């Protein structure tokens, strides 16, 4: 089992690349069940991310709600549970006994006080994905807090300033690829409405408890990748990026179809919409002619989905919570961690709402029902999936969602590096823990020049304030980058240490993360 000298940091954050991940593999090679995780929790020393200096980060008290600010409270109970996914029953970890977990709903500007009662056999945290919140509530172990130990409670307190479709999940290991996720919906007090009903549609790829666990899968990816070269990974990673770069110069978006290169690393037996397989799908009901707002969240760990509703066009209205110029599409891509809102005017009957994972077998399905008629079968495939698939990063921002016009005060470079064989991922040439933080100043406009130097696509996610694409001004917090793609992102950083990482859970755990450190 775990070497007692191994810093816990490496298990939580994958910060030591090969070494850290190898230890993770050793811990979980016991096979079925979650016993290995319990062993982590009790045997491993508790060390912050500052390389074993023993620093602890206790909760940072908040001033509480200000006068006139509404207080919204919730309790989350991450725990072991048994879930019926529809034709398949799994032992897994979830928030309570439902999948997705119970949504938290509030109005933009409210003060949230969320108590986490950790009933898992492992450390955990909660990250509020996409929320522009105070750094101390961001949920990153070793950076903004100490992880919540098994049996412990922790209170997150923050103002949620912006409306939109968000979600939350742990920021520890591969826990997101179990059942630990739930929507966070912030209503807009100024929302014009214009729709009759609203459905939250959460997509997931599922393998936990189906003969394996996420930890087993990562161990296998590393083993199949073969031994790393003698340079300990770092040099190999830098070289890999450089070599691949040569043949692919200039590749960029704009040609429409299938820009994502290699499909994901992981094979999933099931794909879910709102926690159910196509065998026993969720039914979403409304009346013919009604306008429905879909809030689509991709909570998957290794799957980019194409989403379509059979017989319907969808009007995209928000990207990662930010209003966009309404754009009508037949189908759209959604990467891990992304959210898109769409308005649909419903026909009469029963229709398949399908999310097909890019480059993989199988799909997720829900039934949209407004009238009589046979439900679409589990294999129903809307013809829209075979037409033009819209790339959300081509949306244009609505006027109110732009960053104020300003020239960048500072520029930093960010490369995404790595490969499947050996299974090593990093940023700026090294895995997390070995790369240096991106430095920024609050009050300045930062430009980030991003280059994906790998042959896979990666959903790049920034904690803290949302960035804007420098060319169009589109605001996002998660951006799908195609193989060898370059982008410029503009950002007004807020004080704190913020994670920047790939939202492929396996890539992040293997080291594809870096800190953005903003000082006053």
Binding-site partner at residue 129 among ligand C2O, Cu ion, none, CB < 5 to 8 Å by type: ligand C2O
Which residue has 């079968």 as its token pair? 377
Whichever of 120 and 510 has its CB closer to Cu ion, that residue is 510
| Member of 502, 510, 516, 518 binding Cu ion (CB under 5 A) | 502
> Which region among 197-205, 250-258, 469-477, 501-509 touches Cu ion (by CB under 5 A)?
501-509
Rounded to 10°, the helix 18-28/35-43 angle is: 120
> Which region among 33-41, 150-158, 207-215, 498-506 touches ligand C2O (by CB under 6 A)?
498-506
DSSP conformation class of 430 = B
β strands within 320-378, DSSP E: 322-329, 332-334, 339-345, 350-357, 364-369
Per DSSP, the three-state class of 238 is helix
Q: How far is the CB of 127 from ligand C2O (least distance, A)?
A: 5
Do strands 305-309 and 350-357 pair parallel, antiparallel, or not at all (unpaired)?
A: antiparallel
Angle at 510 between CA 417 and CA 478, to 5 degrees: 65
Which residue has 């949306």 as its token pair? 395
Q: How far is the CB of 173 from ligand C2O (least distance, A)?
A: 12
From CA 161, how far away is CA 165, in angstroms rounded?
13
Whichever of 172 and 346 has its CB closer to ligand C2O, that residue is 172
Whichever of 284 and 336 has its CB closer to ligand C2O, that residue is 336
Whichever of 302 and 490 has its CB closer to Cu ion, that residue is 302
| Member of 34, 40, 171, 475 binding ligand C2O (CB under 6 A) | 171
Distances (CA, A) of 463 to 20, 93, 130, 503: 24, 24, 7, 11
Binding-site partner at residue 504 among Cu ion, ligand C2O, none, CB < 5 to 8 Å by type: Cu ion
Binding-site partner at residue 295 among ligand C2O, Cu ion, none, CB < 5 to 8 Å by type: none
Rg (CA), the chain: 22
Q: How far is the CB of 502 from Cu ion (least distance, A)?
A: 3
In the complex, residue closest to ligand C2O by CB: 129
Q: Does residue 504 interact with Cu ion by CB under 5 A?
A: yes
Q: How far is the CB of 503 from ligand C2O (least distance, A)?
A: 6
Binding-site partner at residue 499 among Cu ion, ligand C2O, none, CB < 5 to 8 Å by type: ligand C2O
Total residues in contact with ligand C2O, by rule CB under 6 A? 10
Burial of 372 (0-12, 13-18, 19+ CB in 10 A): exposed
From CA 123, how far away is CA 151, in angstroms rounded?
9
Residue 300 CA from chain centroid, whole number: 7
DSSP conformation class of 337 = T
From CA 263, how far away is CA 81, in angstroms rounded?
30
Binding-site partner at residue 9 among ligand C2O, Cu ion, none, CB < 5 to 8 Å by type: none
Q: How far is the CB of 210 from Cu ion (least distance, A)?
A: 23
Binding-site partner at residue 282 among Cu ion, ligand C2O, none, CB < 5 to 8 Å by type: none
Whichever of 10 and 298 has its CB closer to ligand C2O, that residue is 298
| Member of 76, 104, 499, 514 binding ligand C2O (CB under 6 A) | 499
- Using CB under 6 A, which residues numbered 373 to 432 contact ligand C2O? none
| Member of 9, 40, 129, 276 binding ligand C2O (CB under 6 A) | 129
From CA 173, how far away is CA 504, in angstroms rounded?
12
> Which region among 200-208, 235-243, 315-323, 496-504 touches ligand C2O (by CB under 6 A)?
496-504
Binding-site partner at residue 502 among ligand C2O, Cu ion, none, CB < 5 to 8 Å by type: Cu ion
Q: How far is the CB of 237 from Cu ion (least distance, A)?
A: 13
Do strands 314-319 and 322-329 pair parallel, antiparallel, or not at all (unpaired)?
A: antiparallel
Binding-site partner at residue 507 among Cu ion, ligand C2O, none, CB < 5 to 8 Å by type: Cu ion
| Member of 8, 9, 40, 127 binding ligand C2O (CB under 6 A) | 127
Torsion angle in degrees (nearest 10) through CA of 177, 102, 380, 363: -10
**How many helices (H) and strands (E) in the chain?**
6, 31
β strands within 290-422, DSSP E: 291-298, 305-309, 314-319, 322-329, 332-334, 339-345, 350-357, 364-369, 410-419
| Member of 7, 507, 515, 518 binding Cu ion (CB under 5 A) | 507
| Member of 78, 310, 337, 464 binding ligand C2O (CB under 6 A) | 337
Q: Does residue 293 interact with ligand C2O by CB under 6 A?
A: no
Distances (CA, A) of 418 to 245, 258, 267, 461: 12, 21, 20, 17
From CA 483, how far away is CA 465, in angstroms rounded?
25
Q: Does residue 463 interact with ligand C2O by CB under 6 A?
A: yes
Q: Does residue 461 interact with ligand C2O by CB under 6 A?
A: yes
From CA 511, how far away is CA 520, in angstroms rounded?
28
Binding-site partner at residue 463 among Cu ion, ligand C2O, none, CB < 5 to 8 Å by type: ligand C2O
Q: Does residue 501 interact with ligand C2O by CB under 6 A?
A: yes
Q: How far is the CB of 470 from Cu ion (least distance, A)?
A: 22
Overall size of the chain counted in residues: 520
Q: Does residue 458 interact with Cu ion by CB under 5 A?
A: yes
Residue ranges that bind ligand C2O, judged by CB under 6 A: 127, 129, 169, 171, 337, 461, 463, 499, 501, 503
Residue ranges that bind Cu ion, judged by CB under 5 A: 458, 502, 504, 507
């Amino acid at each position: 089992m775990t070497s007692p000298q191994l810093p816990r940091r490496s298990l939580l954050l994958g910060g030591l690349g090969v070494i850290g991940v190898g230890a993770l593999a050793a811990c979980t090679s016991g096979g079925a069940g979650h016993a290995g995780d319990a062993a982590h929790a009790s045997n491993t020393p508790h060390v912050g991310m500052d390389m074993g200096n023993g620093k602890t980060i206790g909760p940072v008290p908040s001033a509480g709600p200000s006068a006139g600010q509404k207080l919204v409270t919730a309790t989350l109970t991450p725990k072991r549970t048994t879930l019926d996914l529809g034709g398949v029953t799994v032992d897994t970890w979830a928030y309570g006994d439902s999948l997705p977990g119970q949504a938290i709903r509030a109005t933009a500007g409210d003060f949230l006080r969320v108590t986490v009662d950790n009933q898992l056999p492992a450390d955990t945290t909660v990250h509020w994905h996409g929320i522009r919140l105070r750094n101390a509530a961001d949920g990153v172990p070793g950076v903004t807090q100490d992880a919540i130990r098994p049996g412990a409670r922790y209170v997150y307190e923050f103002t949620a300033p912006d409306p939109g479709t968000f979600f939350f999940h742990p920021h520890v290991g591969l826990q997101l690829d179990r059942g630990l996720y739930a929507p966070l919906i912030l209503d807009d007090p100024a929302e014009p409405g214009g729709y009759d009903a609203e459905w939250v549609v959460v997509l997931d790829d599922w393998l936990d408890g189906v003969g394996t666990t996420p930890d087993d899968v990562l161990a296998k990816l590393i083993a199949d990748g073969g031994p790393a070269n003698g340079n300990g990974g770092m040099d190999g990673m830098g070289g890999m990026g450089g070599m691949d770069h040569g043949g692919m110069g200039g590749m960029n978006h704009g040609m429409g179809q299938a820009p994502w290169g290699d499909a994901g690393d992981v094979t999933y037996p099931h794909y879910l919409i709102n926690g159910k397989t196509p065998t026993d799908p969720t039914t979403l009901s409304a009346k013919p002619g009604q306008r429905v707002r879909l809030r689509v969240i991709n909570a998957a760990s290794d799957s980019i989905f194409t989403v379509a509703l059979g017989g319907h066009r969808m009007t995209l209205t928000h990207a990662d919570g930010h209003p966009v110029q309404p754009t009508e599409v037949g189908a759209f891509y959604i990467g891990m961690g992304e959210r898109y809102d769409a308005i649909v005017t419903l026909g009469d009957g029963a229709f398949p709402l399908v999310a097909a994972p890019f480059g993989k077998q199988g799909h997720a399905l829900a039934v949209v029902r407004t009238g009589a008629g046979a439900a679409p079968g589990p294999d129903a495939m809307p013809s829209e999936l075979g037409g033009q698939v819209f790339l959300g990063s081509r949306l244009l921002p609505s006027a109110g969602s732009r960053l104020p016009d300003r020239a960048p005060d500072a520029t930093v470079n960010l490369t995404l590096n790595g490969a499947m064989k050996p299974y090593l991922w990093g940023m700026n040439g090294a895995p997390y823990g070995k790369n240096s933080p991106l430095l920024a100043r609050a009050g300045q406009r930062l430009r980030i020049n991003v280059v994906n130097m790998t042959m896979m696509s990666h959903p790049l996610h920034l904690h803290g304030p949302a960035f804007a694409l420098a060319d169009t001004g589109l605001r996002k917090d998660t951006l799908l980058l195609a193989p060898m793609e370059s982008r410029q992102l503009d950002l007004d950083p807020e004080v704190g240490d913020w994670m920047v990482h790939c939202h492929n859970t396996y890539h992040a755990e293997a080291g594809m993360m870096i800190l953005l450190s903003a000082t006053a």
